[in-house]
Amino acid sequence: MRIIITVGMLGAVTLTGCETDPNHDLASQAASGDVARPVAWVGGRSIGSAEVEALAATEAIGREASLQRLIDQELLAQEAQRLGFTVEREGERTIERLMVRSMLHDMEKENTPESISEKELRDDYAMHEDKFRIPERRRTWHILVKDKGDEAEALAASILRELQRAQDPHTVFERYADGAPQGIELEVVAEELPPVTEEAGLEKSYKDAIFAAKSEGPLEELVETSYGWHAIVVAEILPAEQLSMSDVEDASRFRISQGKRTAMLVKTVQALKAEGLIRYDEESVERLLSRSGLPEPAD
């Protein structure tokens, strides 16, 4: 099978992707005939700029990514047809997608989670052992006075003393669950947090304080953050642990099988591209990528 796309080797042209606006109106461009202009040809099938724009808008991807995806789909479709998935094409991309889906189904059958050997599992576990180590985590709850003034600090200090004296500190939490008691104008928030590690994205003063605690229970001192003053209780300390191979077996089987399937897909597309010159119509590509109305992708 020969795959011919006019002018310029694949990769020789630098394409600048732009994200798309699904509401972008192509009618005025279509009226000039510019949108229908072919950007590339794959085995005699053309890919028009309107098709690139439509996929980019639907999938919210850049024009370059949209063009590459259409080329890859067409290459896979032609390979599927070569392997015997013959269907009357009738010029419909739907038929191509059906053939590609059949190919992908066969790839999936060859690479199921159950097909992964014990040796593959052991090798994968050894390679990713560090990722299966769960560091120490700490679960906390706190009562926050959302102000940084002296009055707010005094109220928070009073709340912390209540927590330290209470037989069950959570009864104090419940008392402030609906905000400050009547007659207090300051905003008070009681909040429970999930277990976090030392790498969590909490404010440094809060995180440092809870991991410096020697045991569970109310902290000895208030903690100040950009939100205000916190009276904090360490509710639970979860020690570090190493997950065993059996703990992660199901997830590993799935991940390895998906990686093998993806590798087969990439190899197939690359082999097809290598069969012939893959070229772009440089003028049409430049015209497509320079079109206004679609924003640049966000970083």
Spell out the SS3 assignment of 55-97: HHHHHCCCHHHHHHHHHHHHHHHHHHHHCCCCCCCCCCHHHHH
| Tokens linked to 27 | 């009618």
- CB neighbourhood size of 35 (10 A): 21
Where residue 284 falls among pLDDT bands split at 50, 70, 90? low
Q: What is the pTM of this model?
A: 0.50
**Burial of residue 202 (number of CB atoms within 10 Å: 0-12, 13-18, 19+):** middle
pLDDT for 224: 96
pLDDT for 144: 96
Beta-carbon-side half-sphere exposure of residue 215 (alpha carbons within 13 Å): 1
The per-residue b/e assignment along 169-191, b for 16 or more CB within 10 angstroms, e otherwise, is beebbeebeeebeeeeebebbbe
| Tokens linked to 294 | 């679609």
Q: Are 5 and 13 spatial neighbours (Cβ–Cβ below 8 Å)?
A: no
pLDDT for 215: 95
Q: Where in the chain is the domain with CATH 3.10.50.40?
A: 136-239
pLDDT for 182: 79
How far is Cα 120 from Cα 138, in angstroms, rounded to an integer?
A: 34
Instruction: Pick 69 or 117 by higher pLDDT.
Output: 117
Where residue 67 falls among pLDDT bands split at 50, 70, 90? confident
How far is Cα 253 from Cα 258, in angstroms, rounded to an integer?
A: 9
Token look-up 């889906």 returns 101
How far is Cα 41 from Cα 277, in angstroms, rounded to an integer?
A: 11
pLDDT for 20: 35
Q: Which helix (H) or strand (E) holds 212?
A: helix 204-212
Q: Is the dihedral of CA 175, 177, 183, 186 positive or negative?
A: positive
**Segment among 156-160, 254-258, 270-274 with least mean pLDDT:** 270-274
> pLDDT tens digits for 185-200?
899 999 999 999 999 9
**What is the rounded average pLDDT of the residues 17-46?**
48
pLDDT for 259: 83
What dotted CATH number matches 136-239? 3.10.50.40
Q: Are 233 and 163 spatial neighbours (Cβ–Cβ below 8 Å)?
A: yes
The per-residue b/e assignment along 93-122, b for 16 or more CB within 10 angstroms, e otherwise, is eebbeebbeebeeebeeebeeeebeeeebe
**What is the rounded average pLDDT of the residues 210-220?**
96
pLDDT for 221: 96
